[in-house]
Amino acid sequence: MPPRRRALLLAALAGTGPAFALRPRPLAFPRDHGSHPDSRTEWWYLTGWLQAGGEAPIAGFQLTFFRSRTGFGDSHPSAFAARQLLFAHAAFTDLSDRKLMHDQRSARAGLGLAEASADDTDLVIDRGPREWTLRRATVDGHSRYDARWQTAGLSLQLSATAAQPPLLQGDAGWSRKGPLAQQASQYVSEPQLVVQGRLERGGRGREVTGRAWLDHEWSDELLAAGVVGWDWIGMNLFDGSALTAFQLRDGAGRAQWAGGSLRAPAGAAQAFDAPAVRFEAAGQTWRSPTTGARYPTGWTVHTPAGRWTVRPLLAAQELDSRASTGTAYWEGLSELLDERGQVVGRGYLEMTGYAGALRLTS
């Protein structure tokens, strides 16, 4: 990312953008699948696993689009004013050769180069042969997300179709992230997405299937003062359930807030109150050779719906995005075990703030 664009982004994330204005409200779709350009920070986060003719996963994938309102140039008439920035991260965890591939893109919105539609999920960055896209459409009454990205030696095209209605996290989509009213987000998940697509790598193409999870979240002020990062899981259980859990940590590793939910295959979600969720590190860590950060290689997650074990399928799944967002974080395919030690699902674990504090507060 060019230095000026990166400076604008970091200033926006540090809180020099618009003042807090987000309030809880009923969500309406498809409009709220689209972007919310008046909010400071927003992301669409698609993760999952891929199979190729068998039950065992061959890979994990992640594609995330971010939008940030800079707070600069709102009244400037020029089309070149950097009012909104878009950037994207993508990663591919190959379980056969035990390697992670990842890439990142960034652009200012507009000028025909990058867009985030306010009408529905329709995201594009770097138009042309190198473009990355994430788009939603309604097909036979169900949401279908079409994603495409490519990097050196790898191309992935996926369709992820909803088998369940959207999951409104927290209180009807209003997800608290701290003790103050403004420390919250609007948060919608689409778990148990049925994936079909095509993977091309090293000149070889193959058809793939799998399961995915999509999170869409927007906020003006996400983190309380003193919070340096979070630990989060989004797990698709094999029985059709969906488990979410997160904690926000201070610099000493103490939990400052927590939450999550469990939705049965066909039923309402059970939302978790903050005091009822607890993350307990397994005791072992993986040290990144790139950043030197140490990440827990497993967790026990205590919730009102039971105790769960989260175990990464590959320790080395750190994404170094310092060239775009100025941070590095761990995000990778993991498996979920129940209290009997049985593997009951898979999904993604995200750990931020271990390679340096995030800057998402005002």
Cα separation, 161 vs 68, whole angstroms: 27
Per domain, the residue ranges of the chain are: 3-19+30-351
Q: E strand or H helix at 140, and its extent? A: none
- What CATH number matches the domain at 3-19+30-351, 3.40.50.1220, 3.30.70.360, 3.30.420.40, 2.40.370.10? 2.40.370.10
Cite the DSSP H helix spans in the chain: 3-11
Q: How confident is the model at residue 20 (pLDDT cuts 50, 70, 90)?
A: low
Mean pLDDT, to the nearest integer, of 1-25?
52
Which pLDDT score, from 0 to 100, does residue 5 have?
A: 39
Residues 349 and 324: beta-carbon distance below 8 Å: no
Residues facing 73 on adjacent strands: none
Which pLDDT score, from 0 to 100, does residue 147 have?
A: 98
Which comes out higher in pLDDT, residue 114 or 7? 114
| 298-336 confidence digits (pLDDT tens) | 999 999 999 999 999 999 999 987 765 567 999 999 999
Cα separation, 112 vs 134, whole angstroms: 16
Q: How confident is the model at residue 72 (pLDDT cuts 50, 70, 90)?
A: low
State the number of CA atoms in the 13 A half-sphere of 53 facing the CB: 2
Of the candidates 151, 146, 139, the one whose C-alpha atom is nearest the C-alpha of residue 46 is 146
Which comes out higher in pLDDT, residue 126 or 139? 139
With H, G, I as helix, E, B as strand and everything else as coil, classify residue 16: helix
Q: How confident is the model at residue 106 (pLDDT cuts 50, 70, 90)?
A: confident
Mean pLDDT, to the nearest integer, of 281-290?
94
The mean pLDDT value of the chain amounts to: 89
Task: Tell me whether the omega of the peptide bond preceding residue 265 falls within 30 degrees of 0, making it cis.
Answer: no
| 128-153 confidence digits (pLDDT tens) | 778 999 999 999 999 999 999 998 88
What is the end-to-end Cα distance of the chain in Å, rounded? 23
pTM value?
Answer: 0.91
Which pLDDT score, from 0 to 100, does residue 8 have?
A: 39
